[in-house]
Amino acid sequence: MRSMRAAVPSTLLLSGMLVNTPGYAQETRYIDDRSTAASLIQSFYNAVNRKEYARAWSYYGDQKPAKDLDTFARGYEDTTQVNVITGAVSSEGAAGSTFYYLPVSIIAFAEDGSDAVFAGCYTVRLANPGIQGEPFQPLHIEKGGLKPSTQSYDEALPESCPDAPPPESTDTVLSEAKTLFYTTHKECDRHLPGADPASAEVEQYRIPYRYSYDTDSDPEREARLFRFYCGAGAYNENHVYYQHDDEDGLRELQFATPDLDIRYADDNSDEKVDSITVIGYSATAKLVNSFYDEASHSITSQGKWRGVGDASDSGTWIFRNGAFSLVKFEVDASYDGEINPETVLDFDTAP
């Protein structure tokens, strides 16, 4: 007998703002990205979280935040984790440089279990790269000013920075989805091989829909779907999905998957399959080799159990009434060199 869940990874479920807290230890992935003001600040706090204070110090220009590196590092000696969200950036040019003004909100967790919210703005500067000499000065933090806030982490984020030009037009929902993905899934390799490392690999879709109780005279609703690349192995690629709509806002999607009891002849997985039984259901945030089909409004995944693809599982989740529901699941549990899946759940095919 072989009891198992469908071969899609499970993940820790977090609520609220979907951020990591000190109680769940995991290695923070290295992020070092100076391509935009927001990615620079994300990189700064990534260095702080990894306790790489010399790297964090290096993101500042000539105007440093403390008298020396040791003093700067001591300011974080009781801090275990800092989560950050950024707002809409504004910019202006002056004296051969471009200055960026970035609203920021952070929540800092201390060793004693307490946390504190701070909010304000960072000024980021880039001198014209075409006229710089040696040494070259990349995009850097010119100054930062964060003050304690009694508001929640997300509510404290300023809409704009004082005395700065109006913020540039931005897709705030997409920005929020990226922030949630960055903070929730630090374990993910976020970029496809050969892709531009300046941004997470994300696909997005708009889904028009109506609830079953809506009438033809009611306005059509719209959901937005975001698919983030989350690393790959030799033959499987992982994805994480977020959905936004007016009713429930932005949230990470969890997908129902069956737990399977697979029995083989002689209790040997190299032998033929005797039976496959659904013994329960679980939820996962990651789908394997998945894609969204705009014509059918469905997400399909197919996880290979080994490279030749003769053993695998596949699922279909259809969008209806504002959410994705599992409607079909197939399993090929035999390692026989042939592709012969067995349907273990089917609410999608007409009788």
Q: How far apart are CA 159 and CA 178, in angstroms?
A: 18
* Three-state DSSP state, 114: coil
Going by C-alpha positions, the residue among 289, 285, 283 that lies closest to residue 257 is: 283
Going by C-alpha positions, the residue among 306, 194, 305, 185 that lies closest to residue 239 is: 185
Pairing type for strands 291-293 and 298-304 reads: antiparallel
* Chain length of the chain: 351
Give the Cα-Cα-Cα angle 141, 192, 309 (nearest 5 degrees): 155
Handedness of CA 84, 13, 206, 219 (dihedral sign): negative
Helix (H) or strand (E) holding 71: helix 69-74
The whole-angstrom distance between residue 163's C-alpha and the CA centroid of its chain comes to: 32
In order of start, what are the domains of the chain with their CATH numbers? 2-13+189-346 (no CATH), 37-168 (3.10.450.50)
pLDDT by 10s per residue, the chain, length 351: 444 444 433 322 222 233 333 333 456 788 888 888 999 999 999 999 999 999 999 999 999 999 999 999 999 999 999 999 988 888 888 778 889 999 999 999 999 999 999 999 999 999 888 777 888 888 999 999 899 999 988 889 998 898 888 876 667 888 888 888 888 887 887 655 554 444 457 899 999 999 989 998 889 999 999 999 998 888 899 999 999 998 889 999 999 999 999 999 988 888 889 999 999 999 999 999 999 999 999 999 999 999 898 999 999 999 999 999 999 999 999 998 899 999 999 998 754
Q: How far apart are CA 101 and CA 82, in angstroms?
A: 21
pLDDT in tens, 113-151: 999 999 999 999 998 887 778 888 889 999 998 999 999
User: pTM above the 0.85 mark?
Assistant: no
